[in-house]
Amino acid sequence: MTAVLPLGERFVSRDPEAFAAPSSHEENWRFTPLAKIREFFEPFAPDGASSVEVGPVPAGVTVETVPVASLAAFGAALTPADKASALAMAHAGDGGHVVVAEGASPDRPVVLSRVGAGGRSYAHHIIEVGAGAEATIVAEHSGLTQIAANVELIIGDGAQCTFIVVNDEESGSTRLASYAALLGRDSRYRYVEVALGGSLVRTVPTVRFAGPGGHAELCGITLAGDGQHLESRLFVDHDQPNCSSNVLYKNALLTSAARTVWVGDVRIRPEATGTQTYELNRNLLLAKGARADSVPNLEIETGQIVGAGHASTTGRFDEEQMFYLRSRGIPEDEARRLVLRGFFGEVLAKIPEESVRARVAELVENKLAQAGV
């Protein structure tokens, strides 16, 4: 039997030894093919190679590589919820440190591109967005990699941050990544995840609030192909009054051997009065045998909220849409592509920068073309 704990009993620790070896009987791991990632639950000597390219850095932003454990912000947003994340934190060496100055409004996105060249790695990066600042930060991953990674985002009071993660790594890659955001008073945070590549990718985006009035959006596009396991397991912890969150993930499974997992955990603590939250996951199956697991969880500990809800759907192409397009002379293949563009369009629209939005749309089109869709 799978052990299911209330969200309030979610175990976290910086100490890797505090975590037992994960088991498929645990709710946190019941969908993950553990046999493929056992090596990430014991310390290893990193032997991975990669190159990191930083795009033009706009005024008001600094990007540097530093011993991240020496930073005051280290651990401010993240206390690991699994052993792989704890090991990545314990072995944090030099990592990326992005700082957006207070009140700054950069005129272009900050783009960080990592290309893996094989081998195993740990990573821990920190992003700080100062009070009143507005910024878009893009992290692109490609190449071949085996990595356990953490990213902490500290969003200052009244700041606005869009953080876009594009995973387009090669077949054979494994990525276990935690993305933890801490939102200041009246801040706005938007996380957009685009999962295209890799053989096994498991992301854990989390949100906590450091003051009232914060708003978080967590959005995702997943395109899973042959033999891919793409998993997102998010947690929004409402522990401050008058905050809100919205979750929107859309997954398309392209082949019979594709697998996606989406788990959306939202907790509203007793002190989080005035909370408003909603989460939606939609899964589109394009082949028989494809499997999409979808588990929305909502734990409410106060009756004094504005609203809370969730929904999850899994199905095949909308036959009415297809019939409508075909009846107007549009070939079947083109009609399918149009339906898919419409399916993902709502999430793509969450990307504020046109250049980034166009780039992500191009990657999605390429993945569909490779799959013959």
How confident is the model at residue 1, as a pLDDT? 40
8-state DSSP, 257: T
CB atoms within 10 A of CB 289: 10
Query: Two tokens at 154?
Result: 């500290």
CA geometry: angle 58, 136, 113, nearest 5 deg: 75
Range of the domain at 190: 7-316
Query: Two tokens at 77?
Result: 């947003």
Mean pLDDT computed over 83-98:
97
Mean pLDDT computed over 221-236:
97
254 lies in some domain? yes
Residue-wise pLDDT for 185-225, tens only, equals 999 999 999 999 999 999 999 999 999 999 999 999 999 99
| pLDDT over threshold 90, residue 182 | yes
How confident is the model at residue 5, as a pLDDT? 52
Relative to beta strand 94-100, strand 110-129 is parallel
298 lies in some domain? yes
Q: How far apart are the first and last CA of the chain?
A: 39
* pLDDT confidence band for 7 (50 / 70 / 90): low
What are the residue ranges of helices labelled H in the chain?
Answer: 83-90, 319-326, 332-348, 354-370
125 lies in some domain? yes
| pLDDT over threshold 90, residue 370 | no
Closest to 236 (Cα-Cα) out of 161, 181, 273, 290: 181
How confident is the model at residue 44, as a pLDDT? 96
How confident is the model at residue 173, as a pLDDT? 98
| pLDDT over threshold 50, residue 248 | yes
Closest to 77 (Cα-Cα) out of 155, 147, 190: 155
348 lies in some domain? no
* Coil/strand/helix, residue 74: coil
Residue-wise pLDDT for 34-84, tens only, equals 999 999 999 999 999 899 999 999 999 999 999 999 999 999 999 999 999
Mean pLDDT computed over 284-300:
95
Mean pLDDT of the chain, nearest integer: 94
Higher pLDDT, 234 or 317: 234
340 lies in some domain? no
Query: Two tokens at 24?
Result: 């498929």
372 lies in some domain? no
Q: Which residues contact 300 (CB under 8 A, 6 or more apart)?
A: 268, 308
Overall domain count for the chain: 1
Closest to 145 (Cα-Cα) out of 117, 183, 178: 117
Closest to 345 (Cα-Cα) out of 160, 221, 161, 241: 221
* pLDDT confidence band for 2 (50 / 70 / 90): very low
- The percent of residues in the chain predicted with pLDDT above 70, rounded, is 97
Q: How far is CA 98 from the centre of its chain?
A: 18
Distance, CA of 269 to CA of 284 (rounded, Å)? 33
Do the Cβ atoms of 122 and 84 come closer than 8 Å? no
Phi/psi at 370 (5° precision): -60, -30
* pLDDT confidence band for 3 (50 / 70 / 90): very low
CA geometry: angle 283, 287, 292, nearest 5 deg: 35
Do the Cβ atoms of 116 and 169 come closer than 8 Å? yes
